[in-house]
Amino acid sequence: MRIAKVLIVDDRPENLLTLESLLEQPGIEVVRANSGEEALGHMLDHDFALILLDVQMPGMDGYEVAELMRGNRKTKHIPIIFVTAEGKGKAQVFKGYESGAVDYLFKPLDAHIFKSKVGVFIDLFHHKVALEQKSLELDQKLVELEELQQQLEQTNEQLLLLSITDGLTGLLNKRQFNANFSHEWKRAYRNKSPLSLIVIDIDYFKAYNDTYGHTKGDECLVQVAQALADTVKRDVDRTARVGGEEFAIILPDTELAGAQHVAERVRDNVELLAIQHKGSPVSEHVTVSVGAASIIPTQKEDTLSLIKAADAALYKAKGDGRNMCCSATLECELGAV
């Protein structure tokens, strides 16, 4: 338990000894002052539970000390009990209360009354300390809860990220690709706007794995994925890994000409990686075949129509020798919204 410090202030040493003897008990530390000036000095260095203040002192009297305490933020709430000679007029008692005293003790002191009154304020001090400790503990708990909340939010973000991204390449996974593609299809249908899809396949990737091993194969996939991500500049575009060595790019509000441009940049950027591929019959380096397709969705089609068109363009690119881009468009009339 925290020690309760009591400041006793009196210009007469014998009075200080009397007060000190009455306060002698476990849990109380007594600090003495024989003048108002000395008392104010002690208040700068200690946190007092109670002040027993003599009214009549030479120089600065008890009233002045009390008034100065009440004007200081650090000491304004410390309880003051005035100690004065019995028989003083009511006017002086009222003046003491106006100066900030909470109670009066009259000399000669009655030990029973003294200990009873002082005990009330010592108990109040201990309750205040306990409340402060509980408040600190509560603040700490709130800080811990806030930290846990932040950790939970970070974990949820990480879980969400893991649920929508491919663990190897960091691109969107196939499930998220399907969700995004469905969303963009519906938006394009509502807005009567074009939607393009690019599908990419690494040429002779099985031969690459057979030649260099699966660890190198994973490194190749990561490099190709980064090249695709770097190629796509708009925030609305989405790049995904949809199979082992297969990738797809969704291009909202993009006509076929724009998709063809992106497809060629994809093919060029992968080739610029200059990843050696001794198992490829078409190039010394890793290359990709790319298919692009575009449509303005209507009631006559569904998402599979654009996927099939892009796949058909990809197969044509493979059939025509690989390391190239082919494209297709679906010409349809606009349906009712």
Q: Is residue 34 one of the residues assigned to a domain?
A: yes
Distance, C-alpha 286 to centroid of its chain: 43
Asked whether residue 205 falls in the same domain as residue 317, the answer is yes
Asked whether residue 199 falls in the same domain as residue 63, the answer is no
Distances in whole angstroms, Cα of residue 239 to Cα of each of 14, 197, 206: 90, 10, 22
Domain that holds residue 9: 4-133
Asked whether residue 211 falls in the same domain as residue 92, the answer is no
Q: Give pLDDT, residue 101.
A: 82
Q: Give pLDDT, residue 336.
A: 23
Cβ contacts of 43 within 8 Å, gap of 6 or more: 7, 69, 72, 74, 75, 78
Asked whether residue 183 falls in the same domain as residue 262, the answer is yes
One digit per residue, the tens of pLDDT, for the chain of length 337 reads 678 999 999 999 999 999 999 998 888 999 999 999 999 999 988 989 999 999 888 888 888 998 898 888 888 889 999 988 755 556 666 777 777 788 888 888 889 999 999 999 999 988 988 898 899 999 999 999 999 999 988 888 888 777 889 989 999 999 999 999 999 999 999 999 999 999 999 999 999 999 999 999 999 999 999 999 999 989 999 999 999 999 999 999 999 999 999 999 999 999 999 999 999 999 999 999 999 999 999 878 888 999 999 999 999 999 999 999 999 876 533 222 1
Q: Give pLDDT, residue 153.
A: 87
Domain end position, chosen among 133, 159, 185? 133
Q: What is the CATH number of the domain that holds 267?
A: 3.30.70.270
Q: Is residue 158 one of the residues assigned to a domain?
A: no
Q: Give pLDDT, residue 335.
A: 27
Asked whether residue 120 falls in the same domain as residue 24, the answer is yes
- In contact, 193 and 231? CB cutoff 8 Å: no
Number of domains in the chain: 2
Strand partners, 325: 290
Pairing between β-strand 80-85 and β-strand 28-33 as defined by DSSP bridges: unpaired
Domain end position, chosen among 133, 164, 182? 133
C-alpha R_g of the chain = 43
Distances in whole angstroms, Cα of residue 13 to Cα of each of 8, 19, 35, 118, 190: 11, 10, 11, 20, 95
Asked whether residue 183 falls in the same domain as residue 101, the answer is no
Asked whether residue 178 falls in the same domain as residue 281, the answer is yes
Q: Is residue 154 one of the residues assigned to a domain?
A: no
Q: Give pLDDT, residue 332.
A: 38
Report phi then psi at 277, rounded to 5: -145, 85
How many secondary structure helices (H) and strands (E) does the chain include? 10, 10
Report phi then psi at 52, rounded to 5: -100, 110
Q: Give pLDDT, residue 258.
A: 95
Q: Which of 219, 245, 331, 333 is catalytic?
A: 245
Q: What is the distance between the terminal CA atoms of the chain, rounded to a whole angstrom?
A: 76
Domain end position, chosen among 133, 150, 183? 133
Q: Give pLDDT, residue 90.
A: 60
pTM of the model: 0.58
Q: Is 264 a catalytic residue?
A: no
Q: Give pLDDT, residue 303.
A: 86
- In contact, 62 and 54? CB cutoff 8 Å: yes
Q: Is residue 168 one of the residues assigned to a domain?
A: no
Asked whether residue 113 falls in the same domain as residue 249, the answer is no
